[in-house]
A and B are shown apart, each in its own frame.
Chain A
Amino acid sequence: MSDDGTLRPFGAFDSAAPGHYGVSPGAVTLAEIPISVAWNVQGDPLHPAFLAEAKRRFGLALPLVPNTTARGPAWKALWLGPKSWLLMAGDETVIVPPAGFDAQRDALNAAGGALFDLSASRVAFMVKGLRAAAVLAKNCPLDFHPRAFLAGNCAQSLLGHINALIERPDATPTFVVMVPRSFAQDGWRQLCRSSAQYGYDVVVPVSMS
């Protein structure tokens, strides 16, 4: 039920304030990334009707290769599971009134699929810089080697004890880490602690689009 594109603060606390932390100079940049719309589309890719409906609705073909993403003019789709995707408004100006959601949901239900609004469910953090991969690898078992985690890939795993959805938007050493909102403070704490030895800068929320 995304009614607005404003930033959803995950509960500000000291080290989330913009500034430099840890040893100098900063080799890592951390920031929160506002999520405006995040919808969970589910359906069986073996049913063409569902795929077609999704394409009509969101202007992109849902990625069928595990742990990959796809971009359309307005939306980006992240593979979450064999029958599940996360659709995010790649552009914050997209305003989708509640009624809009219901209509989309009904249409997808009619096509044998499902649509759930998870816009407020996750908080996203950007981890950028030469040490970004090392920072994530301290508490996440995924392989962040550029040959293993390609630009445009996404993966769900753990950051310490908490679930994390990690995306690598482009070829630069930048990762987007999405954690459940109620765990956001713990996720942020881990990123800060892991970055401290390299030094890190917290910058005001930025958009990844």
Chain B
Amino acid sequence: MNLFSSPAAHANEDRRLMLLIPCPYCGPRNQIEFTYGGDATVRRPAMKECPADPVSAWVDAVYVRDNPCGPHDEWWLHGAGCRSWFMVRRDTRTHEILASARIGEAFAGEPR
């Protein structure tokens, strides 16, 4: 069960509002309350896993980026608010925020 309001609600109501960032818990808040956390699609090798070439696996995770010109899934921390890390899908060409999602949840309109 989900005790909180759905993140989808935030995603829709703020479609246009770009850097009015929709915290999945607190709702839309001013950009200055947040801290950017970078590309959320980067996959850090799991701690226990020992890939064939751990160094290059970590080099990819730590240094290499898709850096897309368009929708970008990224981490944000509501640092001056509820201190939740969450994911935002933002268009890097326009700064338009397309959706936000809690950890472990899919973006609005996407299957889990």
User: Chain A residues in contact with chain B, CB under 8 A?
Assistant: 45-46, 64-67, 80-82, 84, 141, 155-158, 163
Contacts and interface: CB of A to CB of B under 8 A. Distances in A.
B81 A157 contact: yes
Contact of A82 (B25, B30, B32): B25
B80 A64 contact: no
B13 interface: no
Given A157-B81, A158-B32, 10 more contacts: A65-B4, A80-B83, A81-B84, A82-B84, A141-B29, A141-B32, A156-B80, A157-B29, A158-B33, A163-B80
Contacts of B25: 66, 81-82
Contacts of A64: 3-4
Interface of B: 1, 3-5, 25-27, 29-30, 32-33, 80-84
A65 B81 CA distance: 14
B30 A141 contact: yes
Contacts of B4: 64-66, 82
Contacts of A45: 3
A64 B5 CA distance: 10
Chain B, interface SS category = loop
B55 to A, nearest CB: 36
Chain B CB within 10 A, most for which of A46, A84, A156: A156
A67 B3 contact: no
B26 to A, nearest CB: 6
B86 to A, nearest CB: 10
B53 to A, nearest CB: 37
A81 B82 CA distance: 4
A65 B29 CA distance: 17
Chain B CB within 10 A, most for which of A45, A67, A82: A82
Given A66-B4, A66-B25, A66-B26, A82 B33 contact: no
A141 B28 CA distance: 11
A32 to B, nearest CB: 22
A157 to B, nearest CB: 6
B77 to A, nearest CB: 11
Nearest to A64: B3
A122 to B, nearest CB: 14
Given A46-B3, A141-B32, A141-B33, A155 B80 contact: no
A65 B2 CA distance: 11
